[in-house]
A and B are shown apart, each in its own frame.
Chain A
Amino acid sequence: MHWVNWLIVVAYLVFVVADGLRRARGATNIEAYFLANRSLPWWAVGLSVMATQLSAITLIGTTGQGATDGLKFVQFYFGLPIAMVILGVTIVPFLHGAKVYTAYEYLERRFDARTRTLTSFLFLVSRGMSAGVIISAPAVVLSAIFGWSLTASVALIGVPTVLYTVIGGVQAVTWADVNQMFVIVGAVLAMLYVLVTRMPVPLDDAFAIAGAAGRM
């Protein structure tokens, strides 16, 4: 790999961690750590929610799905925005008004500590497993590109993330997500440009081939 590519990868990782930590410097109490003192602008929260839903699995997996199955899976993404609006109207104002740090805190208030423990346990187990898959997929790609071991690639993705999350709390996570969203959208546009301009056949032919192969 060219040294410029290395420089971009290292500089980006350092920037994401440093920017997250810099913005989280005021997080000295629990309200700041978990809720960022309720001070985050709406667009940062929105971009963070989008970045949370969009993992490397989405970029790698949906591309593969499109190549093998065609565009059928796109229908799933038509439901998401409507679900977001419904959640934004119902659950979000409710939890915001309940003045809780987490949804599980509300469950304890409404039911008891056992309900809170069980639901948070289930969340952590399922989230832990899905995070494993979400990190391992790009780690496979990174190890193929860099020629590293899979363990080193997992560490490269996981360690900075854990660091800025544990040290900076929600503030650091949100701003790291905002930066990631800009990088992801920029990268997708760049990929689209390269794909369209460097394809060995004209775009019109490529669509025709995709259609003939049943991928439309």
Chain B
Amino acid sequence: MSLRVRQTLARVIVIQLVTLALLWLLQQRYAG
């Protein structure tokens, strides 16, 4: 895997983790 591919994958995963964390926080606060 080239450096560019690894960088892209890393960015994708970071964005997904941040989104997941936000969704999780929303659920913790509001899900009944």
Q: How far is the CA of A70 from the CA of B5 in the complex (A)?
A: 34
A216 B26 Cβ-Cβ under 8 A: yes
The residue of chain A having its C-beta at the shortest distance from the C-beta of B9 within the complex is: A85
Q: How far is the CA of A89 from the CA of B12 in the complex (A)?
A: 14
A85 B26 Cβ-Cβ under 8 A: no
Given known A-B contacts A81-B12, A82-B12, A89-B5, A211 and B31 have beta carbons under 8 A apart: yes
B32 A212 Cβ-Cβ under 8 A: yes
B5 A216 Cβ-Cβ under 8 A: no
Q: Count A interface residues, CB 8 Å.
A: 15
B8 A216 Cβ-Cβ under 8 A: no
Contacts of A78 in B (CB 8 A): 16, 19-20
Which DSSP category, helix, strand, loop or mixed, fits chain B's interface?
helix
A26 an interface residue at 8 Å Cβ cutoff? no
Contacting residues of chain B (1-32) with chain A, CB-CB under 8 angstroms:
1, 5, 8-9, 12, 15-16, 19-20, 23, 26-27, 29-32
B30 A208 Cβ-Cβ under 8 A: yes
Contacting residues of chain A (158-216) with chain B, CB-CB under 8 angstroms:
207-208, 210-212, 214, 216
Shortest distance between the CB of B14 and any CB in chain A (Å): 11
Shortest distance between the CB of A90 and any CB in chain B (Å): 10
Contacts of B27 in A (CB 8 A): 211, 216
Contacts of B20 in A (CB 8 A): 78
A124 an interface residue at 8 Å Cβ cutoff? no
B31 A85 Cβ-Cβ under 8 A: no
Give the one of A81, A82, A210 with max B CB within 10 A: A81
A71 an interface residue at 8 Å Cβ cutoff? yes
Given known A-B contacts A78-B16, A81-B12, A85-B8, A207 and B26 have beta carbons under 8 A apart: yes
The residue of chain B having its C-beta at the shortest distance from the C-beta of A211 within the complex is: B30
Q: How far is the CA of A130 from the CA of B9 in the complex (A)?
A: 31
Shortest distance between the CB of B20 and any CB in chain A (Å): 7
Contacting residues of chain A (8-50) with chain B, CB-CB under 8 angstroms:
none
Give the one of B1, B9, B29, B30 with max A CB within 10 A: B30
Given contacts A89-B1, A207-B30, A214-B32, 4 further A-B contacts (CB under 8 A): A81-B16, A85-B8, A211-B32, A216-B30
Residues of A within 8 A of B (CB): 71, 74, 78, 81-82, 85, 88-89, 207-208, 210-212, 214, 216
Of the A-B pairs whose beta carbons lie under 8 Å apart in the complex, a sample of 25, sorted by A's number, is A71-B23, A74-B23, A78-B16, A78-B19, A78-B20, A81-B12, A81-B15, A81-B16, A85-B5, A85-B9, A85-B12, A88-B5, A88-B8, A89-B1, A89-B5, A207-B26, A207-B29, A207-B30, A208-B30, A211-B30, A211-B31, A211-B32, A214-B32, A216-B27, A216-B32
